[in-house]
Amino acid sequence: MIKSQEAILEDILQSLSSRLPGEIKNISPITRGYLNLKWKVSTTAGTFLIKQFNKDRLRKYDRQDLLFALRQQKRLYKKGFPCPNIYLDKDNRLLESSNGEIFMVMEFCPGKIKLPGCLTRGEMNHLGKCTGRMHAILNDRIVGTKERAEFIPPPVKHRMSHWMRVKEETEAKGKMGHIPLIDKQLSLTERIDLDTLGMKDTGWAHRDLFLDNILFHKGGISAILDFDRLRYDYPKLDVARAVLSGSLYNNILDVELVSSFMEGYREHRICSDTVLIEGLRLLWYMESTWWIDADMDQHVGPPIRFLEEMKWLQEHYFDLEDILNG
């Protein structure tokens, strides 16, 4: 049985009656985000955000990994990093309602989400600074490292098999308009050399750093949100995702915005000259299988933008040096 948002909220509020400080004055839903439900709750003691974890999406996470990610967010907050404070239970666990809804309460941060590709140079520079500082804190060796990254790129032959299956499924569904794009995926994948992607450059990373998860206020970043997917992976993927989200507009990458981001990033994090290009190429290799499929014409919300980005990366995979250094 699918419960309404109102029923879920009522269940959560009943469980919070003795935990939420102050008397509730106003509750309003927050429509941004993907699958998880969120509400802004104003009380006489302050303003908070309640986040309910979608059960289908939650099943994809290891609960301990999720808790680790949220504790790292709390560590970042204590270091003065712009992200919301989190209020876990006394045992540092996620909260659970009487009807089994998993949720958490966090500080509500002021700010607005900006449209992809519409940042100023100052905003892009500040985003670079925040990303670099986040990576510096997360990788300060307080929590150690892991032997392997979260994403292990499959061999090229496996990716080729994947795209052949996608092509067959697309043809079976009669969506012939998708075939040229899938053929390009096959052609590009065949030419990929995974050894050029800097796979040894691993570390703790946000792994969901696009503009829907970033709040802007008074010309800068007021908060970076949604650390749920934080894992030991490739920080360069954060760099690539943030750069694409902030700099790609109307199928054109604004290289001045890219430069502003990288200048800010390098203030806090030493990196090679190739980190962005490697990150963009690795991002395509990882994410294109998520957004390019037989049913990509049915995308809604953020996946529409992600598909546009994958198309751009596919088109310019071997031109990135010329674009960024031109």
> Residue 32 pLDDT more than 80?
no
At 163, the pLDDT band (50, 70, 90 cuts) reads very high
One domain for residues 138 and 269: yes
SS3 category, 106: strand
Distance CA 53, CA 104 (A): 8
pLDDT digits (tens, 9 = 90+) for 117-132: 999 999 999 999 999 9
Distance CA 188, CA 284 (A): 11
Within a domain: residue 227? yes
Q: Which residues contact 31 (CB under 8 A, 6 or more apart)?
A: none
Distance CA 181, CA 155 (A): 21
Own/partner pairs, 306-312, CB within 8 angstroms, 24+ separation: 308/248, 308/251, 309/244, 309/245, 309/248, 310/284, 311/181, 312/244, 312/248, 312/251, 312/253
Distance CA 277, CA 313 (A): 11
The alpha carbon dihedral of 144, 63, 104, 215 has a sign of: positive
SS3 category, 207: coil
Tell me the average pLDDT across 297-314.
97
Higher pLDDT, 161 or 13: 161
Q: What percent of the chain has pLDDT over 70?
A: 96
Asked which of 56-60, 208-212, 321-325 is least confident by mean pLDDT, the reply is 56-60
pLDDT at 54: 83
One domain for residues 19 and 148: no
Query: What CATH code is carried by the domain that includes residue 254?
Result: 3.90.1200.10
The average confidence (pLDDT) of the chain is 93
User: Rounded to two decimals, what is the model's pTM?
Assistant: 0.92
74 touches 227 (CB < 8 A): no
Distance CA 180, CA 224 (A): 37
DSSP string across 208-265: --SGGGEEEETTEEEEE---TT-EEE-HHHHHHHHHHHHHEETTEE-HHHHHHHHHHH
Within a domain: residue 116? no
pLDDT at 210: 97
One domain for residues 248 and 102: no
Query: What CATH code is carried by the domain that includes residue 9?
Result: 3.30.200.20
Distance CA 77, CA 64 (A): 20
- Token digits of residue 321: 């040096």
pLDDT at 2: 58
Task: Specify the DSSP class assigned to residue 22.
Answer: S
One domain for residues 130 and 69: no
At 34, the pLDDT band (50, 70, 90 cuts) reads low
Domain boundary among 76, 107, 138: 107
Q: What percent of the chain has pLDDT over 90?
A: 74
Distance CA 204, CA 26 (A): 37
> Residue 90 pLDDT more than 70?
no
**Of residues 274, 311, 309, the one with CA closest to residue 197:** 274
Number of structural domains, the chain? 2
Domain boundary among 107, 138, 170: 107
> Residue 89 pLDDT more than 80?
no
Tell me the average pLDDT across 249-253.
97
> Residue 268 pLDDT more than 80?
yes
Task: Specify the DSSP class assigned to residue 112.
Answer: B
At 93, the pLDDT band (50, 70, 90 cuts) reads confident
The alpha carbon dihedral of 43, 45, 49, 50 has a sign of: negative
Task: Specify the DSSP class assigned to residue 173.
Answer: T
Domain boundary among 54, 80, 107: 107
Domain residue limits at 71: 5-107
pLDDT at 16: 81
One domain for residues 74 and 161: no
- Quote the crossing angle between the two packed helices 255-266 and 121-138, to the nearest 10°: 40
> Residue 92 pLDDT more than 80?
no
Within a domain: residue 112? no
One domain for residues 74 and 216: no
317 alpha-carbon distance from chain centroid = 21
Distance CA 243, CA 236 (A): 10
> Residue 21 pLDDT more than 70?
yes
Distance CA 73, CA 80 (A): 11
One domain for residues 250 and 191: yes
pLDDT at 13: 86
One domain for residues 309 and 187: yes
Within a domain: residue 42? yes
> Residue 1 pLDDT more than 60?
no
Q: Which residues contact 11 (CB under 8 A, 6 or more apart)?
A: 3, 97, 98, 99, 101
One domain for residues 90 and 126: no
One domain for residues 67 and 151: no
